[in-house]
Amino acid sequence: MIIAVDFDGTIVENRYPYIGNEKPFAIETLKLLARDHHQLILWTCREGRLLQEAVEWCRQRGLEFYAVNCNYPEETPAGNPTYSRKLNVDVFIDDSGLCPLPDWGTIYQMITHRPALLQSQSHCFHNCRALR
């Protein structure tokens, strides 16, 4: 599975442009997903130096991404008439979705046990309705 993961507010507490504290079990869960042969793409609004800081922060903790802000490592907009910043992934893990981001243990279970993903989506929508 190809999984896009946001950085600020998802892997770490949102303190942009600074790097917040790690969300509990985020790095360990992502390393487990990579070990399980999922392709992880870091998908963040960070650019330039701030992006490099986030990538290095993850690298120092043993987390490497298949790609960063693109579908595959060699993808660039230069000279590519079909380039799109929209990712072609199976799952986005992001704190700014419709429903609150579950804890990382739940995220791992949702991804590794696909039927649970469908159940959790209905649970998510139930929780969203309850917030109205």
pTM of the predicted model, to two decimals? 0.82
Q: For tokens 């490497």, what's the residue?
A: 64
Domains and CATH numbers, the chain: 2-131 (3.40.50.1000)
Q: What is the DSSP string of 19-46?
A: EEEEPTTHHHHHHHHHHTTPEEEE--S-
- pLDDT average per 10 residues of sequence, the chain (132 residues): 97 98 98 97 96 98 96 77 81 88 91 65 47 38
Tens of pLDDT along 26-62?
A: 999 999 999 999 999 999 999 999 999 999 999 999 9
Alpha-carbon distance of 108 to 26, in angstroms, equals 10
For 132, residues 6+ apart whose C-beta sits below 8 A from its C-beta are none
